[in-house]
A and B are shown apart, each in its own frame.
Chain A
Amino acid sequence: MSFLDAIIAALKSLRQNMLRSILTTLGIMIGIASVIVMSSINAGAQQKVEEQIASLGSTMLSVSPGASRRGGRSSGANSAPQLSERNLDAIKQAVPNVVDAIGEVRVSTTAVAGGADWPTTITGVHAGFPVVRNWPVATGRFFSEQEVSSGRRYAVVGETIVKEVFEGTNPIGGQLRIGNVPFEVIGVLAAKGQNQFGRDEDDLIVAPASAVRARLAGRDATVPDQLDSIRVLFADNTDLVRAESDLMDIMRTQRRIRPGQADNFRVFNIAEFIRARNETAQTFGVLLAATAAISLLVGGIGIMNIMLVSVTERTREIGLRLAIGARKNDILIQFLVEAVTLCLIGGIIGLGLGLASTTVVAKVAGWDVLINANLVLIAILASAAVGVFFGFFPARRAAKLNPIDALRYE
C-alpha cells in the first residue's frame, strides 16, 4: 500500500467518525495554538528588548554617582560626590577596549522658539554622543570635541522638539532659547519613537556639556567640572564583566576609595538591566510553554486512547486486511498515518486559532507580536511528532494482531 493510499484511507476512516475525530484533536489544537501564541509573543517581546538594547548600545556601561548596592553602608545617592570630566578622561585613557566615552549633564528646562515654549530636558554631552548612544544625526551635524571645549552654544534636537517648538519647520540655523540662553540649532537627531515604558525618546535637546554646565546647571559647586553620568562604549565582543571590573578599578583609584571601603559610584550594564526588567515577559512565555506542553501531552494521550479504541473496533477489518495480503508494516503504517493525520488536522486548526489569538492578544495587550513563517513549520512538525509518538503504540498493537484471531474477533 502506497503512502498516498494510506493517507486517503486514513482520511476516509476519520471522516466516518467525524465528531469523535474533532473532539479528539481538541488537545492538539489548544497545544499548537499555545505554541503559536507563545512563540509569537516571545519573539515580539524579545525583538523589542533587543532593539532597545541595540539602540542604547549593547556594549555600553554607564557610571553614576551613588552608594554601591553591593555591601557597605548605604550612604544615599545625594551624599556621594559628583563625577567629573577628569574621571571621564581617566576612563578614556586607562580602561582597555574603550571605543569612546561621554559625560552627561542633565537640566530640566523650558525651550522657547518663536512663540512656542515646551518643557523638556537639555543634556550636556561630548562629541562622542552619536557613537556612544548609537544615535545618529538625521539632518545637519553634531558638534565637535573642539566646540565642546570652547563651550559653543550649539544644540542638536530630537524630532519632538522640531514638532513642538519649531512646528515642523526646518530648525537648523534657528535659535532656541533655553532658560533665556540662546542656542543655535545645528542638527536634528534620528527619530527613535517611544521606548518600552512609553517615554518619548525624541523629546530631548543635546548641547556641549561645557555650555550646559556653565549656563544652566550651576549647582553643586564642589566639583566645577561635574558630570551627572558617564557612558562608556566598549568595542564589539568585549567581555563586559571584565570591562565592568576594569572600569570600577579606575573609578576607585580616581575617587581614592581604599580597599575595603564601599564604592560611592555605580556601574550599570544597561543591556542586562533591560533584559532583567523583561523577565516578566519571559515568565509569561514560560507559562504558555507549560500550557502548550501539557495540552500537547493531554492531546497526545487523547489520540493514543482514541486510536486504541479504533484498533479494537476495527479488529475484524485488520484481520481482513491481513488475510488479503497486508503485511504487518502496512497495518502499522495505516494506523500511524491515521494518528498523524488526526494530529495534523488538529495542528492546522490550532495554527489558525493561534494566529488569530496572537493578533487579538497583540491588539489588547499592546504587545509587539511577531508572526514567524517558521511557526507554520513548527506547528506541523510538532503535531506530526505527537501523532507518531502517541500513535505508535496503538499502531503496533494493530500490526501485531494475528489474522485468524482478528478475523474471529467479535
Chain B
Amino acid sequence: MNPEHGSSEALVRGDNVRKTYRMGAEDIHALDGVSFKIARGEFLSIMGPSGSGKSTLMNLLGALDRPSAGRLEIDNAPIGDMTPDQLAALRNRTIGFVFQQFNLLARTSALENVKLPMLYAHKRPSDLNKAAQEVLDLVGLGDRLDHHPAQLSGGQQQRVAIARALVNRPQILLADEPTGALDTQTSEEIMQLFTNLNQSGVTVIIVTHEQEIADWTNRVMRLRDGKIVTDERLKERLHVVS
C-alpha cells in the first residue's frame, strides 16, 4: 500500500516509524517500526507495559519530536520534514496536548493559562477572554476563571489543562496518562469529558495503564518493546454516554 494514496480520511498516518535513542554504546529502539492510521473522529487508547514506547509515540503524534526513521503524517503534513517553527505551528493549531502532571503555569489564573496558546497563535486580543471563557465553560469551570492552580483540585487542574488544549480548536487531542494523577471518581469525570469532546468531532488519543480507562475508548492499540502487538476496534462501547 502506498501511504500517499491511502484513505483520505486518515488524520494521522504512520509508516514504519522508528525512534532510536543512543545510550552510550547501545541503541534503544523506543519505537521499532510502527505503522498505523488514525481516522478523523476516532477515540483511541494506547496501552502497554512501562517502557514499551507509549510516551515516545505520543510525543511524535504531538509533533514534539521527529521520528528517527519512517514517515509520520499529521493532517497530511510529514512531520519528519518540518522545521521546528512549522512543528510549533502544528502543535499550536492542529494538536492539543494534555499532560499527566497538568503543567499549568503556577500563580497564574485559569483564564490566563487557557489564553496562552492563543497568544502564540497571534489571535486578536479582544477575542482572547471570550474564547478562553467559552472553553472553560465547556469543561465545567466557568465559575473558576480567576482561580490559580494552587486553588484548584487535581481534577479541576486537569480540566483547565484540557481547556487550554482545546482553546485553539485543534483537530487532535492527545493525553499522556491524563488520569494518572487522579482518583477513580475524578478520572471518570475526565473520561466523560473526553467522550463528549470526541462526540463533538475531536479525534482523541490517550495513553493509559488502566483497562477501565481504555474501556471508554473505541479502539485500543497495545505496544510492547516499541512494536504494536494488537490494535483492536471495539464494536460495542462499554460505557454508555450519559
What residues make up the interface of A, taking CB atoms closer than 8 Å to B?
A: 1-2, 5, 12, 16, 316-317, 319-330, 403-404, 407
Q: How far is the CA of A101 from the CA of B164 in the complex (A)?
A: 86
Q: Is the CB of B119 within 8 A of A12?
A: no
What is the chain B residue whose CB lies nearest that of A323? B97
Among listed B72-80, B85-93, B205-213, B218-226, interface-contacting one: B85-93
* Contacting residues, chain B, for A324 (C-beta < 8 A): 91-92, 97, 116-117, 120, 164-165
* Contacting residues, chain A, for B165 (C-beta < 8 A): 324
> What are 12 A-B contacts with C-beta separation under 8 Å?
A1-B119, A16-B107, A321-B120, A322-B88, A324-B92, A324-B164, A325-B88, A327-B85, A330-B120, A403-B65, A404-B65, A407-B64
Q: Mark B43-73, 1 if CB is under 8 A from A, else 0.
A: 0000000000000000100101100000000
What is the chain B residue whose CB lies nearest that of A317? B105
**Please, how many residues of chain B have a CB less than 8 angstroms from a CB on the other chain?**
27
Q: Is B151 an interface residue (CB 8 A)?
A: no
Q: Is the CB of B64 within 8 A of A327?
A: no
* Contacting residues, chain A, for B84 (C-beta < 8 A): 327-328
How many residue pairs, one in A and one in B, have C-beta atoms under 8 Å apart?
Answer: 63
Q: Is the CB of A327 within 8 A of B62?
A: no
What residues make up the interface of B, taking CB atoms closer than 8 Å to A?
A: 59, 62, 64-65, 84-85, 88-89, 91-93, 97, 99, 103, 105, 107-108, 116-117, 119-122, 125, 164-165, 168
Q: Write the nearest CB–CB distance from B209 to chain A, whole angstroms.
A: 18
Q: Write the nearest CB–CB distance from A322 to chain B, whole angstroms.
A: 7
With A12-B108, A324-B97, A325-B88 given, name 12 new contacts (CB 8 A): A317-B105, A321-B116, A323-B64, A323-B91, A324-B117, A324-B165, A325-B89, A325-B91, A327-B84, A327-B120, A404-B64, A407-B64
What is the chain A residue whose CB lies nearest that of B85? A327
Which interface residue of A12, A317, A323, A326 has the most chain B CB atoms within 10 A? Answer: A323
What is the chain B residue whose CB lies nearest that of A330? B120
* Contacting residues, chain A, for B105 (C-beta < 8 A): 317, 320
Q: How far is the CA of A404 from the CA of B85 in the complex (A)?
A: 15
Q: Write the nearest CB–CB distance from B145 to chain A, whole angstroms.
A: 17
Q: How far is the CA of A325 from the CA of B85 in the complex (A)?
A: 9
What is the chain A residue whose CB lies nearest that of B89? A325
Q: Write the nearest CB–CB distance from B101 to chain A, whole angstroms.
A: 8
Tell me whether A325 and B108 are in contact in the complex, defined as CB-CB below 8 angstroms, given that A404-B59, A404-B65 are known contacts: no
Q: Is the CB of B119 within 8 A of A407?
A: no
Q: How far is the CA of A241 from the CA of B126 in the complex (A)?
A: 70
Q: Write the nearest CB–CB distance from B207 to chain A, whole angstroms.
A: 14
Tell me whether A407 and B103 are in contact in the complex, defined as CB-CB below 8 angstroms, given that A1-B120, A323-B62 are known contacts: yes
Q: Write the nearest CB–CB distance from B229 to chain A, whole angstroms.
A: 24
Q: Is the CB of A407 within 8 A of B85?
A: no
Q: How far is the CA of A242 from the CA of B119 in the complex (A)?
A: 69
Q: How far is the CA of A326 from the CA of B164 in the complex (A)?
A: 14
* Contacting residues, chain A, for B88 (C-beta < 8 A): 322, 325-328
Q: Write the nearest CB–CB distance from B146 to chain A, whole angstroms.
A: 15
Q: Write the nearest CB–CB distance from B192 to chain A, whole angstroms.
A: 24
